[in-house]
A and B are shown apart, each in its own frame.
Chain A
Amino acid sequence: MTAPSTERDIPALVRAAIEKHGAKRDALIPILSEVNLALGYIPGEAFKEVRKQLHDPTEGVFVAESQLHALASFYDMLATKPRGEHVIKFCENAPCHVVGGKAVWDTLREKLSLKNGETTPDGKWTLVTTSCIGLCSVGPVVLVDEDLYGNVTPEQIGDILGRYE
């Protein structure tokens, strides 16, 4: 899902996002989300580009690069580091926890030899925890990219990962 940023035309991507959401200060989060969605993360070049294209004192739009970094570090869904080919998101909240989430989490970490937030050396997997995604009636819940797995048991982890081999 993540294309290396060098293969993408970042100025065009940013331009399209600004066109869609408007060249104004309050559109910064949707614009950054758009870039994040397209590239899997927001590369440094994209921050520069957003500032370049948006900052326009004559129109009363003031954007500093530091503000963009401040936003990206605050919002959990915006990433500033490249992620693996597949991103595994595990829900760590109480509803998933009481129905067996801990064992699933331990199995995931063990199988991938990853800690939270890390990416495998081959760039294939990134393992992160996620806030509650509102699917608590089928917990424990694991998301692989956009694919949802509910009622997950530790025994199923091997199978689930195998689908992405």
Chain B
Amino acid sequence: MQTKRAMILVSNDPESIRLGADDLVKSLNDALAAYELQDEVDVSTIGDVGRADILPLVIVYPEATVYGPVKAGDARYLVEEHLYKGRVATDLLAPPKQLSGHIGWLRTRKGYNPAEQRVVLERAGRIDPDDIEDYIAHSGYEALGKAVTEMTPMQVIETVEKSGLQGRGGAGFPAGRKWRFVRGAEGDKKYVICNADESEPGTFKDRVVMEGDPHQVLEALAIAAYAIGADEGFIYIRGEYGVAYQRLEKAIRQAEEFGFLGNNIFGTDFNFHLHIHAGAGAYVCGEETALIESLEGKRGEPRTRPPYPTTNGLWNKPTLVNNVETLSNVPAILRNGPEWYKAIGTPSSPGTKVYTIMGNINFSGVIEVPMGITLREVINIYAKGMKPGSTFKMAQTGGASGSIIPAALQDTPMDFESFRKAGVSLGSGALLICDQNVCIVDLVKVLLQFFRFESCGKCTPCRIGTQRSYEIVERITQGQGQLEELDKLLEMAAEMERASNCGLGQTASAPVRDMLKHFRTEVEAHIRLGICPTGVCPMVVEEEAAPA
């Protein structure tokens, strides 16, 4: 039997037949014949698929794209788009299942997981990342063209300001304001840098953006350069991301060929040259001044601030540093306008957020949802619930430097303001969901192990603080903990927050604080009773208890 490259399944339950499934099968076969695809593609039927709202339904394999309802008259279009041209026939895609229950601020769009809303990841997975023409066919470089031919740099900055876009690297600083600072800084030579040093453990959203839609990052950087008055830019990508590096490198070459990068972009006198630079494995280089040091070919040790990079950045010139996800929002904002963007998410935190979800849940991966969704909604809807036998105990947000969220805060809307009010941090967008079998002390030990390894050692509070905190917590897991040392931990946390030179040291104590704030009983059980309630900690001194 000849191998077929694709298979079309058409629903043929009684309801589908009543709605014209038989005619649809015939039309699909005719359309395949018209494109001479009859030998490459099979048409078959399936029974009830439990989606009465979208019958007749068509599933195209191997991609398993679900279309519905599909009429006989749509057959030719569907065959032409999906099987002849090889792209998803977006307007025929089945809508997501209707959700019961209240999901805040959701505007569902077709084709994705329940009620996902994609801005940053709009094209990822749907276009060929190695093909600039595919990007252009999906509104690519439209925003750049609009910016350089129809708008002044100040108008671009005002648009970004009006949209309310906040930095997605963790701090949530208003992006437009940062752009304005760099625009206003003195000097003729300025730089833009895309911070793609995504090193927070558990965060891989930027990798997915760069691998799936590299041109979007390039377009956004060119827009930013135009707005702030830069003619040169860098993408600083962590050394571990080989595939993303290659895709971006290829994308830059293509964009140069097409005149979207280089000299006289869109026939104007705007020039922009973009370089890509790979890191070599250092968490601290995600901090913007450390990143700049590393770009200059030095050890990635953060600078003392002020002055900030907005006035004294790369080679001491005014420099804009933005995260991949932050930048990737910009083209859509320029295309659709700031009002469109503000309508997504919450009033204080507009837009979407890309999360990586993982841990003791049924679905791990990347989701993009409006700001303001709650943790409970993420777990129950997007993560498809906790694993069988698991109940929610806590979530670790935003990689190592985020917060540990106890069950009591599960219904807090996830946006910058609500989280700030609740005393927790959204971080970089990683959500590590832990069940009742995860020991808080063991988890914090792992996080501190990370910090003591990654501390660059330049300033004392961080270098010594991460090491001493680790030692105390490790002793607790070995049954050697003492109650007085818990106070010592909090004292050190306060000093590290106050006196550390950069964000690494300032946030390294967050897990310790959260542990003692929300799970003190469990910690004290280790010390007072000499038991680990979850049975995870060894409670004796082992030869090599942890990777060191």
Contact = CB atoms under 8 A, between A and B. Distances in A.
Interface of A: 24-30, 32-33, 70-71, 74-78, 90, 92-95, 97-99, 105, 109, 115-116, 129-139
B278 A30 contact: yes
Nearest to A95: B202
B533 interface: no
B295 A26 contact: yes
B69 interface: no
Interface stretch (B99-107, B296-304, B411-419, B517-525): B296-304
A40 B202 CA distance: 27
Interface in B382-408: 396, 399-400
A14 to B, nearest CB: 15
A76 B202 contact: no
A97 B360 CA distance: 11
B217 interface: no
Interface residues of B, number: 51
Given A95-B432, A98-B434, A137-B364, A129 B547 contact: yes
21 contacts: A30-B278, A70-B299, A71-B299, A75-B239, A75-B281, A93-B202, A94-B202, A97-B442, A98-B443, A129-B547, A130-B240, A131-B281, A131-B283, A132-B199, A132-B201, A134-B198, A134-B207, A134-B241, A136-B364, A136-B430, A138-B364
B544 interface: yes
A77 B280 contact: yes
A76 B282 contact: yes
A29 B279 contact: yes
Given A94-B202, A131-B240, 14 more contacts: A70-B299, A74-B299, A92-B546, A95-B359, A97-B443, A98-B360, A99-B359, A105-B547, A109-B544, A116-B547, A129-B547, A131-B454, A132-B199, A137-B358
B202 A132 contact: yes
Contacts, number: 127
Nearest to A133: B240
Interface string B198-214: 11111110010000000
Interface stretch (B317-325, B444-452, B488-496): B444-452
Contacts of A92: 446, 449-450, 546-547
Nearest to A70: B299
Given A29-B280, A95-B359, A131 B430 contact: no
B201 A98 contact: no
A74 B199 CA distance: 15
Contacts of B450: 92-94
Contacts of A24: 297
B548 interface: yes
Contacts of A97: 442-443, 446
A25 B207 contact: no
B434 A76 contact: no
A10 B446 CA distance: 40
B466 interface: no
A103 to B, nearest CB: 11
Given A93-B450, A95-B432, A131-B240, A75 B280 contact: yes
Contact of A95 (B239, B294, B296, B430): B430
Contacts of B443: 94, 97-98
Contacts of B434: 98
A105 B396 CA distance: 22
Given A76-B280, A94-B396, A95-B359, A137 B365 contact: yes
B294 A94 contact: no
A132 B206 CA distance: 13
Given A75-B280, A134-B198, A94 B400 contact: yes
A160 B294 CA distance: 36
A98 to B, nearest CB: 5
Contacts of A25: 296-297
A62 B312 CA distance: 22
B513 interface: no
Contacts of A32: 280
B468 interface: no
Nearest to B399: A132
A82 to B, nearest CB: 18
B247 interface: no
B109 interface: no
Q: Give me the 7 closest cross-chain CB pairs, A-B, nearest first.
A: A134-B204, A76-B281, A93-B201, A77-B281, A75-B280, A137-B364, A132-B201
Interface string B423-438: 0000000101010001
A130 B282 CA distance: 11
B382 to A, nearest CB: 12
A138 B300 CA distance: 30
B165 interface: no
B358 A139 contact: yes
A160 to B, nearest CB: 18
Interface in B351-394: 356, 358-360, 364-366
B461 to A, nearest CB: 20
B432 A98 contact: yes
Contact of A74 (B300, B366, B396, B430): B300
